[in-house]
Chain A
């Protein structure tokens, strides 16, 4: 068994005076995994992310990154290697030009200036926003701001990238752009965790899904396993992905053969149908 890149053991966290937000979360995350984190609002996803990034310090429990247990002294390691793209781009963008914004993370890593500039150009190129380099963020549209926030994290060259509800507030074109970027990052072997309410997206993109409910992880498995488990869906108030329903209805009505290869997108279903009907 390979060593997990991020290992979280029995994590407890509560905000100030309020109720505990995390009640014993344990999970192993491996290099290159594409994980969808699902669960209703207030189920502890964002708190978990902030703990994983080292911004919040857990009440109990332990986090290790590549075998090293994280404590107060080396929590900077976590921030360096685990980047978060926040839900609201305006919460994240702090500098007054795109270049300064993307350079903020690398500057905090105390890299030499030439290296910072190289990384900024690389990240802007990656997100196709090199033209916006010296534009102030208040002259960007929502989708462009989102790209800037992703470039922020790419410039830090984090091994693990966490996206907190990235598709919220994006128009379909920008959501598609985001998915293309996610696929590209995945192909480069980045480990990604994405919290989302979009079950269809989770179903087609993720290799693994984690379900949060009231500060606990109640399910961990492939999206197919999770979306086929009705008791978990009920407990976490989740819908089933449309493609899964469609496929099972087709199989139940004997319109297609059950090949145990579940299509996750309309295109995949089309290929499956063409295959079955051209050959039979």
Chain B
């Protein structure tokens, strides 16, 4: 009796530790680049329990509407709607959401500037700026076109990001499998997703151990160390691949990877709300056109 009580205390302790671990990882995710942070956000999202197929279909339809209707008001509605889903429904802190959006935003800005601004020898357009060799010029029309394009791309991207930030990769792969993507690709996706984290771990360990021996003290040494770590990583990967294969075989693997996937019930209310939102977008377009 006493023994079982102490055991349960043990387990409570370890589960507390697990929570601590998770928040700890969260912080690491920020430091080590957005890749693993996005993975963590998807895992922590409050709308993760929604049917993944529904989320993928909904965000794709929204994306298609956003691009197809080509209307700035619709784009704004999509941006706001997706932000609402991710931040309010999904419980992602606004700052985290904005920091994820910042990456594509940079690309959008760079890409659209090239469309809005042109270069010429003669002073053209409504606004121009002399730069010695020629003129940079633009016009209100061009700037408007640029803004509309930016909103459209941004809307499309926020629809995709809503999906990414609420659906863990494993579930996404499950959706692709159901969509009859070739089995080989599905198996590769599963394995790559799992082993990318192991690779990162091993790489971090190697880098830290090299760092602790002054392996990155100046540029030349850093280059040399980077090369050594990379080649070592390859050798270790090949060795490990063998170990993984052995472990898989030991559990009866015989050529086909089968994973158990959780069936997440499909909620009809979600379908109605999603249809309502899409209909609202169409209505906006009809009214504003």
Which B residue sits closest to A86, measured CB to CB? B247
CA distance A53 to B244 in the complex (A): 15
Cβ contacts B16-33/A at 8 Å (1 or 0 each): 011001100100000000
Given known pairs A55-B246, A104-B251, the reply for A99 and B22 (CB within 8 Å) is: no
Q: Would B190 and A95 count as touching, CB distance under 8 A?
A: yes
Does A100 contact B170, Cβ atoms closer than 8 Å? yes
- For B172-208 the 0/1 string (1 means CB < 8 A from A) is 0100000000000000001101100110010000000
Determine if A91 and B243 form an interchain contact, defined as CB atoms under 8 angstroms apart.
yes
Would you call B2 an interface residue if the criterion is a C-beta within 8 Å of the partner chain's C-beta atoms?
no
Interface residue A180 (Cβ < 8 Å from any Cβ of B): yes
Among A50, A117, A143, point to the contact of B250 (Cβ < 8 A).
A50
State which of A91, A109, A140 has its C-beta within 8 Å of the C-beta of B18.
A140
Contact B198 A90 (CB under 8 A): yes
Residues of B within 8 A of A (CB): 7, 10-11, 13-15, 17-18, 21-22, 25, 39-40, 43, 168-170, 173, 190-191, 193-194, 197-198, 201, 240, 243-244, 246-254, 258-262
Is there an interface contact between B246 and A96, defined as CB atoms closer than 8 Å? no
Give the contacts of A118-163 with B (CB-CB under 8 A). Answer: 120, 128, 131-132, 134-141, 143-144, 152-153, 156
Q: Can you sample 13 A-B contacts with CB below 8 Å?
A: A86-B243, A94-B244, A97-B168, A103-B259, A104-B251, A104-B259, A107-B259, A136-B170, A138-B197, A139-B43, A156-B252, A173-B10, A173-B13
In the complex, what residues of B have CB within 8 A of residue A80's CB? 252
Q: For the complex, would chain A's binding face be called helix, strand, loop or mixed by DSSP majority?
A: helix
CB-contact partner of A97 in B17, B170, B251, B253, under 8 A: B170
CB pair B43–A79 under 8 Å, yes or no, is no
Q: Does A36 contact B (CB under 8 A)?
A: no
Give CA–CA (A97, B168) in the complex, Å: 10
Residues of chain A contacted by B261 (CB below 8 angstroms)? 100
| Residue among B7, B21, B190, B252 making CB contact with A96, cutoff 8 Å | B190
Task: Contact check, A100 vs B259: say whether CB atoms are below 8 A apart.
Answer: yes
The reply on A62 being an interface residue by CB < 8 A is no
What are the residues of chain A within 8 A of B243 when measuring CB–CB?
86, 88, 91
4 shortest interchain CB distances as A-B pairs:
A103-B260, A108-B252, A138-B197, A107-B258
Nearest A residue to B244 via CB reads: A91
Tell me if A91 and B240 are in contact (CB < 8 A).
Answer: yes
